[in-house]
Chains A and B, each alone.
Chain A
Amino acid sequence: MSTVDAPGAPRRPVAPKARGGVVQSFSDSLIVARRNLIRMLRIPEVIIFGLFQPVMFVVLFSYVFGGSISIPGAGTDPEDYRSFLMAGIFAQTVTFATAGAGAGIAEDMHKGLIDRFRSLPMARGAVLTGRSIADAVQTALTLLVLAVVAVLVGWRINEGILKALGAFGLLLLLGYAFTWIGALIGLTVRTPEAATSGGLVWLFPLTFVSIAFVPSQNMPGWLQPVAEWNPFSATVQAARELFGNLPPGFQAPDAWPMQNPVLASVLWSVLIIAVFRTLAVRKYRSATG
């Protein structure tokens, strides 16, 4: 195919011919991911402060609320609540990567880097995919540290290491899905400050109106279906099952995602990626800094 559309002398571009397709998308994404990981290492404060909040939640919920939140099928032993709580904190932590992703992309827009990337012959989704890969690595590190803290306060896995790894896999997938929501927010609001607050404000209702901290059975009847169909709850419930953190007498609610949490978790995450990745890549291609 000729790409020379004008009668002017065709000039040989110096940049090598783009390979195109999946191979180029993948290698471009890795180049961008590497850039974001280098940044992360050079701004360790971000990771450290990112750990404060979940660690604080572990301590606050375990020791302050622990005794007063009862779990159906268990007694009022704070130990039971602590086990129950951890999957919720893990899931909340991975979704908070949303705000970081949004702020990072808004900053790139603001500083003109997105313009530079868009003027290069690179794969169109690579800037965002690279960012989300780097965010997933950061989230994995955060989860690792958090798991150690959880073990220190008495959390245990009771269903074997494979299932536990599966639970962490589902959590990371959820976090990855949510970074695409963050990317769309970052591309829309344009300033890092707005992306941070815009990325966090809706996460609070989303994570609290869920089964993360309080069993849905303890909520008013009208709120129960909301919490049980919340995409976030599916992953929390799946992780609880896979970690073996539910009390022996616990009856999962009747809602379908609560009865089939692993499948529901995967489906929700894939759906979020499909929708928000499409929107974010579209937005990126028309973005103006």
Chain B
Amino acid sequence: MPGAIYAEGLVKTFGDVKALDGVDLDVPEGTVLGLLGPNGAGKTTTVRVLTTLLRPDSGRAVVAGVDVLKHPNEVRRSIGLSGQFAAVDEYLTGRENLTMVGQLYQMSARDAKRRSVELLERFNLADAADRPAKTYSGGMRRRLDLAAALVVSPPVMFMDEPTTGLDPRNRQGLWDVIQELVAGGTTLLLTTQYLEEADRLADDIAVVDHGKVIARGTSDQLKQRTGGERIEVVVHERDRIADARGILSGHGAARGAAADVAVDQHTRKLTVPVSGGAKLLAEVIRDLDGAGIEIDDIGLRRPTLDDVFISLTGHAAERGDTDTDTDAKAGAKADADTDTTLSEDQS
């Protein structure tokens, strides 16, 4: 049974760039999927297809039980979108922005007004409700944008890099809001370039690269795939590396196989996959000490999502604003190249 968000074989080409090369997704109702990927991986394009803004060249998508390509206007009743930029009218007050969005969701003026009062309270904007949004701070604008996406309490939410450009305090605040939202049963698809964000908010993570989902699973599963824990040792003297290697290979997960120990001569760092945790670490320290090998540093490391990312994509996640630019440009090109009009149904 397809989940609240379901996509199958989404393909979208802009000129000779394949932005989506067969994206499949399945997000069970009430869960959070983190879409994680490097620059131009196709995260934003995926969101644009699922939110009816962009028509794919091929593939199928169902959101909240409704076919996205056949009945875009039905889908729009059930979704909330918070894009990369705070999409609020700067010259309208917070209250006016929310009321307008509510009315365009076809709520009556009275309901829309009542709802905006609730949302302004909830997002801590009540004091600024009657000030034009251009007087708001970046964090306030983001909150207003998120409130606008929640005007109808949509069962399915899409957030495209919700915390990009926010300072740590505001990011934390927004995370709290998102967690509260999800606790209420909303299905959420979230794109992010912050691995920490995916780790913290998402039930499941799909790693996308070059328009394809290259891995999926829970944060723990992905970390496990990259390899379990390992011990890292930095020895003090370069000519003791060989001795240290011998000791480490005896403790490694692949017992006795010396090749299992990775050695970086330059930094004098040795790494070995292990499966014994802190107890094993103590043993290794004892053995190294017993052999008279002086060490500068030693530690038990568990893989981070960063490691997962590098091992899956072959490169680190790049942070900064370039990703948003790439995706936005790819999106912009769509318009120039093809007629991407979605057929409307006003039924």
Does B299 make an interface contact (CB < 8 A)? Answer: no
Q: Which residues of B contact A116 (CB under 8 A)?
A: 81, 83, 87, 101, 148
Least CB distance from B331 to A in Å reads 4
A residues 114-167 near B (Cβ < 8 Å) are 115-124, 126
Q: How far is the CA of A35 from the CA of B97 in the complex (A)?
A: 9
Provide the bound-state CA to CA distance between A220 and B67, in Å. 62
Q: Does A288 contact B (CB under 8 A)?
A: yes
- Residue-wise, chain A 181-222 has the 8 Å CB interface mask toward B (1 for contact) of 000000000100000000000000000000000000000000
Q: In the complex, are the beta carbons of B155 and A285 less than 8 A apart?
A: no
**For the complex, is B52 an interface residue (Cβ under 8 Å from A)?**
yes
B3 touches A120 (CB 8 A): no
Chain B CB within 8 A of A248 CB: no
* Contact with B335, one of A17, A42, A124, A287 (Cβ below 8 angstroms): A287
A4 to B341, CA, bound (A): 22
Is A3 a contact partner of B66 (Cβ separation < 8 A)? yes
Q: How far is the CA of A15 from the CA of B153 in the complex (A)?
A: 8
Contact between B77 and A39 (Cβ–Cβ < 8 Å)? no
Q: Which of B17-66 contact A (CB under 8 A)?
A: 29, 48, 51-55, 62, 64-66
In-complex Cβ contact of A31 among B1, B53, B103, B152 (8 A): B103
Is A70 engaged at the interface, CB distance under 8 Å to the other chain? no
Contacts of A286 in B (CB 8 A): 55, 334-335, 339-342
CB distance from B62 to the nearest CB of A (A): 4
Asked whether B288 is an interface residue with its Cβ less than 8 Å from the other chain, the reply is no
A14 to chain B, nearest CB (A): 4
How many of chain A's residues have a CB under 8 angstroms from any CB in B?
A: 53
CB of B164 closer than 8 Å to a CB of A: no
Query: A19's closest neighbor in chain B, by CB?
Result: B106
Q: How many residues of B contact A (CB 8 A)?
A: 63
Residues of A within 8 A of B339 (CB): 282, 286
Q: Does A249 contact B (CB under 8 A)?
A: no
With both chains docked as a complex, state the minimum distance between the C-beta of A127 and any C-beta of chain B, in angstroms: 9
Answer yes or no: A112 CB below 8 A from chain B CBs: yes
The stretch of B88-96, B121-129, B225-233, B240-248 that contacts the partner chain: B88-96
Give me the interface of B with A, judged by CB distance under 8 Å: 1-4, 6, 29, 48, 51-55, 62, 64-67, 70-71, 73-74, 76-79, 81, 83-92, 96, 100-101, 103-107, 132, 148, 152-155, 328, 331-332, 334-335, 339-342, 344-347
Question: A38-B96, A122-B104, A286-B341 provided; 18 other pairs, C-beta below 8 A?
Answer: A3-B345, A6-B65, A7-B2, A8-B2, A8-B65, A9-B1, A11-B65, A13-B78, A14-B77, A14-B155, A15-B76, A17-B106, A32-B100, A39-B91, A111-B87, A121-B76, A122-B106, A288-B340
